[in-house]
Homo-oligomer: A and B are copies of this chain.
Amino acid sequence: MHVSLEQAEKAIAAAVAESERLGTQMCIAVVDSGADLKAFTRMNGAWVGSIDIAIKKAKTACFFGMNTGQIGQLSQPGGPLYGIEHSNQGLITFPGGVPIVDQDGVLIGAVGVSGSSVENDHQVAKAAAESIGLSDLPSHPWRT
């Protein structure tokens, strides 16, 4: 199952609203369950460098069905996934990417947010995902 455009637009609207509450300027990307871009918005004043980071966060969260920050904990020097960022044409493994899961526990896409602190990025991404579903997947293997 894939996130629909209507859902993606709702998620982005929720992200923009949360970002404005925080006083931040974000890039927000929504990918479907194939990790392919569905919708993207760069708020006025957001960093140009955040375009690619937001998209890569969304892809990374979708590729592995988990928050990007969880992968980053495993990819540190000495960790089991050290260097995983070199795969898939570049992953981003710090917080700001979260899966989007429907009511049946099926991964339907992911959101990636970049433009502020990683705490704010994560909060905005979570608000986006939860506007249209859940942001936690049941344990792997999940269904797509």
Contact = CB atoms under 8 A, between A and B. Distances in A.
Interface of A: 2, 4-5, 9, 25, 32-53, 56, 60, 62-65, 72, 75-78, 80-95, 117-118, 140-144
B40 A40 contact: yes
A8 to B, nearest CB: 8
B44 A4 contact: yes
Number of copies of this protein chain within its complex: 4
B52 A87 contact: yes
Given A46-B141, A77-B77, A85-B86, 6 more contacts: A45-B141, A47-B140, A49-B63, A50-B63, A81-B118, A84-B92
Nearest to A25: B141
A96 to B, nearest CB: 10
Given A48-B35, A56-B87, A143-B45, A94 B80 contact: yes
